[in-house]
Structure 1
Amino acid sequence: MRIETGLVDRKGQNICKLPGKKTNKPKKNRKRNQKSPRVVQKLFDTCQEVFATGGAGVVPSPEDVERLRSVLDSMKPEDVGLTEDMASFQMIDRESTPPIIYLRLYECDRFSIGIFCLPQSGVIPLHNHPGMTVFSKLLFGSMHIKSYDWVTDVSNNGKENLDPSPYQSPGKGFRLAKTKNDSIFTTESDTSILYPTAGGNMHCFTAVTSCAVLDVLGPPYSDAQGRHCTYYLDFPYASLSGDAGLEPEGGRAAYAWLEEREKPGDCVFLEAKYEGPKIVEK
């Protein structure tokens, strides 16, 4: 996803800047809050190990996937310096689609760590993750996630095969996909994980309430290396197949036709400075 920098509000102030006032908190409170830098650092150190030999299409071992998932499952908003009343999660202009604010914690050729801040009703449109393994942890709020994987082929009896050729619709430019998720996620939900060819590689986020989602991508998007972000429109299976179409296993509702599209004009990603606990490269 292309993310613009230099986010300011109408008064020219950085709307994602975290409160910087000093307070005279009791020592025990300061000690309790000192856990945050350790949590962020642990996340970074784990990513360095998990993606040490990573690359496009390279999936970490099941043990490494679970190790990173465990770290993310334990993370809270305060671990990255977020509060729900920050301006990043407020509606700036209720007459238009609210912008999505991105906080970049770290990025290298092997992985990236960042936070997407969505006001209520904010949407990250349906898009893909070419050759990536992606971990998404909802830090607060609730979010609807709909995700798909490509169907590689469908035989005459509606069963999926492993034939590598994509199954195309009678309409030009449409490709068949199978629904992986279509549900509401909350902070009680486990970290979601998608893979290069499974787990819901194409997904759409819609903020039911204002929310923040922490994303780890391995590897990150790279136009230079051919890992472009592609956006899609989805259509019900029956809308293009008609009564004469195949009857896929699981029923037609479990499938959809996806069509590539340009990035929606009302979809705005803006980058603001991350001011939470810092990451130290070792």
Structure 2
Amino acid sequence: MMPRDNMTSLIQKIARQALTTFRNHSATGESKIFLENHSKLRSLLSEVRAADLRIVPRYAERSSAPTPLHGPPVTYMHICETDSFSMGVFLLKHGTCIPLHDHPGMYGMIKVIYGKVRISCFDRLGASPDGALQKSSMRPSTRRSVGEYTEEDAPCVLSPYRDNIHQLEAVDGPTAFLDILAPPYDPDGGRDCHYYKVLQPASESAENKAEVPGHAEVWLAEIPQPGGFWCGSEPYPGPKVSL
């Protein structure tokens, strides 16, 4: 039997609520019950801190400039996975990022547990609610938002048709965030991860784009996984989850 402190832990409550929220849910429709459960999940996720997961912030890595990387730039702590959702923690070293990528037909929630993360979000133009797109590797999109998140902020939320493509960057030092995806990636089920680069109009500089991020139409070109990015794994030290 699972120890009592694990059964009542915040991460256990989050996992149970995630299962309730996403079990048997279809991305093509959002019922009142789903929206209520989704709101409950966001509220629970807003409470989580690094200490709840027994993760010690790695601020010793902080410096004025990125240092040469030893080992993977990003690591992942697996917490749990069902057919309905997956949950784990991503840890980014100082000066690193998770490149621009998508989540076909998936919901997601990102809660920073230490450090600061800059999240750049895009919407795909002409996509259906289930995330289906034309086959072209060039895809018209709109840059919806660029925001910086800390442990004090509410989760960043994505859906199959809003903020579904994003990039996450460690700002001013190492950072970590709790990540929920529903349903999990499944290449055989049509939910593989694709990477992109932004093609900006020649008349607009990158600096101007950053100053006015909202709703700027751009083209995204699908690319192979960037060569400098890879994700390693490490053990999750926190309370166990039972589903």
4+ runs deviating over 4 angstroms: 34-37, 55-60, 164-168, 250-253
| SS of equivalent residue, structure 2 residue 139 | strand
Shift of 1:95: 3.0
2:35 alignment partner in structure 1: 62
Question: Does the alignment pair 1:131 with 2:95?
Answer: no
2:154 alignment partner in structure 1: 190
Structure 2 contact 194–223 (Cα < 8 Å) conserved:
yes
Structure 1 contact 144–206 (Cα < 8 Å) conserved:
yes
Question: Does the alignment pair 1:112 with 2:83?
Answer: no
Bigger share in strand: 2
Shift of 1:134: 0.3
Count of aligned positions: 224
Q: Deviations over 1:153-198 (max 9, x none)?
A: 9xxxxxxxx9x99799xxx842211112212222222111111011
1:83 to 45, 56, 60: 56
| SS of equivalent residue, structure 1 residue 66 | helix
Flag structure 2 segments of 5+ consecutive residues without an equivalent. 205-211
Question: Does the alignment pair 1:42 with 2:13?
Answer: yes
Q: Deviations over 1:180-222 (max 9, x none)?
A: 2212222222111111011x10000010021111111110100
Shift of 1:280: 2.0
| SS of equivalent residue, structure 2 residue 187 | coil
2:174 alignment partner in structure 1: 210
| SS of equivalent residue, structure 1 residue 258 | strand
1:239 alignment partner in structure 2: 202
Structure 2 contact 104–132 (Cα < 8 Å) conserved:
no
The structure-2 alpha-carbon separation of the partners of 1:96 and 1:119, relative to structure 1 and needing over 3 Å to count, comes to closer
| SS of equivalent residue, structure 2 residue 112 | strand
The structure-2 alpha-carbon separation of the partners of 1:165 and 1:204, relative to structure 1 and needing over 3 Å to count, comes to closer
1:258 alignment partner in structure 2: 220
Q: Which amino acid aligns with 2:227?
A: G
**Distance in 1 (alpha carbons) for counterparts of 2:158 and 2:143:** 13
The structure-2 alpha-carbon separation of the partners of 1:173 and 1:252, relative to structure 1 and needing over 3 Å to count, comes to farther
1:31 alignment partner in structure 2: none
| SS of equivalent residue, structure 1 residue 141 | strand
TM-score, normalization by structure 1 = 0.70
**Distance in 2 (alpha carbons) for counterparts of 1:276 and 1:115:** 11
Shift of 1:41: 0.9
Q: Deviations over 1:120-156 (max 9, x none)?
A: 1111000000000101111111111111001129xxx
Q: Which amino acid aligns with 1:176?
A: P
Q: Which amino acid aligns with 1:223?
A: P
Q: Which stretch shows the higher mean deviation, 97-106 or 127-136?
A: 97-106
| SS of equivalent residue, structure 2 residue 143 | strand
Q: Which amino acid aligns with 1:254?
A: A
TM-score, normalization by structure 2 = 0.81
| SS of equivalent residue, structure 1 residue 43 | helix
Q: Which has the larger radius of gyration?
A: 1
Q: What RMSD in Å do the two structures reach over aligned CA positions? A: 3.2
1:52 alignment partner in structure 2: 23
**Distance in 1 (alpha carbons) for counterparts of 2:178 and 2:148:** 16
The structure-2 alpha-carbon separation of the partners of 1:270 and 1:167, relative to structure 1 and needing over 3 Å to count, comes to closer
Identity %: 29
Structure 2 contact 79–87 (Cα < 8 Å) conserved:
yes
Structure 2 contact 106–159 (Cα < 8 Å) conserved:
yes
1:26 alignment partner in structure 2: none
Question: Does the alignment pair 1:225 with 2:196?
Answer: no
1:71 alignment partner in structure 2: 44
